[in-house]
Amino acid sequence: MKPEGNSSKRKGSNYSDVLHTDDDLNPIPPQSGYKFSIVKALLIYPLAILPLGTGLLLAYWYRALWVRLTYSPCPLSRATTVIMTDAYGQQRVSTVQMTAFADAYSTIGDNVAISASVKRYLTHCRLRYLYSADEDKFVLLRGHDCGLTLAGVHESITGLSGRDYEQRIATYGINSIDVPVKPILVMLYQEVLTPFYAFQILCLVVWYVEEYYYYGAFIIASSLFTISYSLFQTHTSAVQLHELVRQSCTVDVIRDGKELHGVSGESLVPGDVMVIPPSGMSMPCDAVLLTGTAIVNEASLTGESIPVTKTPLPQTADELYSSDRHKQHTLFGGTCVIQTRFYNNSAVLAVATRTAFSTSKGSMVRSILYQKPFNSKFYRDAFIFIGVLGIIAAGGFLFSFIFYAVTTYTLPDGSTISYLVLSPRVYALRGFDLITIVVPPALPVAITIGTVYAVARLKKASIFCIAQQRVNLCGKIKLVCFDKTGTLTEDSVKTSGVITMTGNELCSEMQDPSSLPPCPILFTMATCHSLTWINGTLQGDPLELDMFETTKWTISEPGNDSTKFDLLVQGIVKPPPTSGLAGMEMGIMKQFPFSSELQRMCVLARALDNPKVLHVYVKGAPEKVKDLCRPETVPVNFKEVLRSLTQRGLRVLAVAHRFMELQWHKSENIDREMVECDLEFSGLIIMKNSLKPETTPVISVLKNANIRTVMVTGDNLLTAVCVARECGMIPRRHRAIVMKAEVEAHNPLPVITYEPLNSDGSVSDGQEMMQIDKPVPVAGTEDLKPEDFHLIIDGKSFAVVREHCSEDLFNKLLVKGAVFARMSPDQKAQLVLGLQNLGYGVGMCGDGANDCGALKAAHAGISLSEAEASVASPFTSKVPNITCVPKVIMEGRAALTTMFSVFKFMALYALTQFISATILYVVGTNLGDFQYLYIDFCLATIFVLVMGLNGPYPALVKQRPEGRLASVNMLVRMVVHVVLIVGFQVAALYYLKSPTWAWSWYKPFVITDPTERVPVCLENTVIFTMASFQYTGLAFALSIGPPYRKATYTNLPFLALLAIISFCNAYMILTPWGLVAPTAGLHGPPATSQHHLQGGHPAAGLCLHCSCLLP
């Protein structure tokens, strides 16, 4: 054993940032106050309006900066506007408002109350913050549950008084999670004012002033189409979200000691006591169950449609309420109460704790509205590259200005004058032309083409995406985490047998539990579950359903039979009539539902033949149940039998029991800890959960592509390892080493031990992490490499390593870990974030509520659940197996490759046009209206639309696509392209003008009218036709196929367009005097001359260089 130092603890790390819940929100976020300054406004507003209103645009885009420029800093107590920083570092501006009432209904931190003099509040990210004079800050308005003990929550059972309600409705506002759909005109206004369209408007002004009417009309038409499509998508998404969150209902509420019927759900406030009807209801807020039980469908939040039983909150005086820790007593907003139960027709009561956007449903909606900013190396590099293009554009503008300022024109009287002075409008606009050319206004739209096509293809494969920006991240996935049950293995779990006790040992396996004599393990299987009848169907967890059905017992709802017990019962179980166990009916009196944190479930039951004794039955993880049992009752062969079962890949539940002589009215509010102690070990229940047939082939595909696979599950460690070996996640001949970490009371440093699973199971004392790299002498593994081992760890040890050990050790665990068992939902998210911090592109595939945090945290979270909770995941697959994982990765690689290709094409297309225009400026002319239209529409826009149609390559290769534009390889290729473009355009012009050829029909262009916008000349024709083939060659060269996309020949629309464009280019070269010459502004040699047919036309002999361009 080895103590490990704690030099780098991670208690203050940002792992909690993943889950966008109220507990993760900073109650006092960074904030600064401002008030309006007339002096600043008088100085700033004229400066913002004068340069064509660009300052106002910047104010619209950067509101926080505008506040700082036009407002003066001031104390928060006098501020009218506050700038607050959210959890992701984004600054948001909020306006301070006033409340009519200001009682203290909020606590922060360690139960610090807000001053009763609070009257000012603001709304930040849909949550209300109240000003606290004591803190001199705006603090998060908490709900009724914050800082209350369990007994304190029960004190609310009498309801609010009328005055209390009026004060709280003024403080908290209405209970509404409303995401209004903006009017179309407002959406249009916001869309037009984006930087992309604002730049296009500037370009349109320049083009229309230059009389580029056709080209301007094309840009307007394409912009209208793009805006219309964007508005349609935005409006559709807004309507869908509005419909998803919209909720309208009426409830019965107790106020002033009276029950009010038909109260609108929007009028509820924290502290209101609701009456839950027997037929159920849709919960309009978060509430705590005070009396009775409720059967709830939480699929809208958790993704699991299995009914969940909610029980009344205990009345413990010294325990604080927490919605996470006491979720089995909490009714969450947005969930559906299917039915309620209470004895003697009493009302089922629940007290509202959180309303509006503070609820669990509101938290889910806020996670959609305020997502974590998308951060990609590609986009960072793209903005840098666009900035470089902007610098080039500024340089071109400056060159144009200086060139036309120093170049002179000879007037008829022999005097000379600068072109810029002679015709300032024409030559100044040419400078602006270069700006609109170098920074293509369609670039932001073009680079999303591949993603749009990928999302459409995924939809056809029944994989739906709600975060398109995540598609490109899928192309860089290096590691995929998988949940086990329901993801790698089948959803259905079959009970294969039980093992009972004989003396102090576990005996042999019995495959038919229904043949068991009366014993605790049989009674546990019959009572320890949360099954319930809903619409005539017995529903519940599939594991519990199968377990109960194997006993052949029956269960009935409380009714006439329940009077036999003279008590509240949640169900009555009866043995089969033919079993010989007649009269052994049992009533389920109280449930402690299964908790993923505790990893067990417990019930209190009472037999009809002995009503004075309460039976306690517990089932759960063997390790957890064993710790609750009296040591003398634990079988001596417990470890051996458990190891044997789990190594066979079987799922094992331990069972324990005890008897309590306790009056029912005292047991109703008994703590779980008082029940689950001093238990007697009863035996084991054996469950079989087989792999899905698709699992092993998919794991093989991922491993062959050098994509690491990791299992993260809440199941038993040895069972998980067996499944990992069976599916190939851990190769059979590789070593699996269990890493254990614990903190001992007498030693402040954690103790780390390693246990090779392929040995006799003994702990390897003194073995250090670096020594594990040495091969363990196991027969048949002599040829293994030192790195051929995998670490296995459970959630308890994972927490110790993360919290108490060095960062280096924790990182080694993340790098070599293959199976993470007994992991809680938070730990799954922590694992994903830890892997991301090491530079992994992480995917996560799961199907249950326990995976939601990890699905949100991962670069590519893929949910196999179709419920509403799938909004937590960027991807949702309707096909319930992991075949979706390689499909998503392949589409991500194809989209990423397409994005790179299109970006390079758009950048080189802009530089090619910039070079052509600059050369023609030196000659004294420019490209014509039709020529710009032909280049931008036929040679750029349409090519971009069809370049992304290549589907993903049908196989995953080991090498991942390039993820950065700023790589040396990428920059070298771009420079080579630019050099070739410049070289061939200059060579074409030299070929035309060279005295070596002495074309008889060639006459150098001479400016005769300096005010003429686009003089027609041979130089223009040569550069235009030369560049046309360059654009075509670039599109062909940059349409990359394997290994990430299908071959180019499979993209028939692209090939057809390539042929058509090549024909048009050839036609313009060979017949520059033809039908299109007047429209295209072409000028060629006389038709009687044959030189152009013999290679005399300059461009004809040079166009083949395009085929040599490097992709």
Instruction: List the catalytic residues.
Output: 483
Instruction: Check residue 1107 and report its DSSP letter.
Output: G
Contacts of 463 (CB under 8 A, 6+ apart): 862, 875, 876, 877, 878, 879, 884, 887, 888
Instruction: Check residue 1095 and report its DSSP letter.
Output: T
Cα 168 to chain centroid, rounded = 35
Q: Identify the bridge partners of residue 653 per DSSP, sorted by sequence position.
A: 685
User: What are phi and psi for residue 63, nearest 5 degrees?
Assistant: -65, -40
Residue 1006 to residue 1015: CA distance in whole angstroms: 10
Rg (CA), the chain: 36
Q: Identify the bridge partners of residue 586 per DSSP, sorted by sequence position.
A: 573, 607
The pairing of strands 708-712 and 680-688 is unpaired
Task: Record the tokens describing residue 1052, joined without a space.
Answer: 């028939």
Residue 645's nearest CA partner among 722, 711, 713 is 722
Residue 635 to residue 508: CA distance in whole angstroms: 13
Residue 720's nearest CA partner among 480, 484, 882 is 484
Residue 122's nearest CA partner among 89, 153, 97, 86 is 97
Q: How many CB atoms lie within 10 A of CB 575?
A: 22
DSSP 386-419: HHHHHHHHHHHHHHHHHHHHH-EEE-TTS-EEEH
Residue 160's nearest CA partner among 270, 267, 320, 286 is 270
Q: What angle do CA 971, 973, 975 make, to 5 degrees?
A: 70
Query: How distant, in Å, are the alpha carbons of 151, 909, 1023, 1027, 1028 from that of 1100?
Result: 90, 20, 12, 12, 12
Contacts of 9 (CB under 8 A, 6+ apart): 803, 804
The edge-to-edge listing of strands for the beta sheet with 505-510 is 505-510, 494-502, 680-688, 651-660, 610-620, 600-607, 586-595, 571-574, 554-556
3-state secondary structure of 448: coil
Residue 55's nearest CA partner among 207, 65, 192, 440 is 65
Task: Record the tokens describing residue 524, joined without a space.
Answer: 């546990």
Q: What angle do CA 585, 587, 588 make, to 5 degrees?
A: 140
Residue 46 to residue 598: CA distance in whole angstroms: 65
First to last CA, the chain: 56
Residue 1077 to residue 1089: CA distance in whole angstroms: 17
Cα 593 to chain centroid, rounded = 30
3-state secondary structure of 178: coil
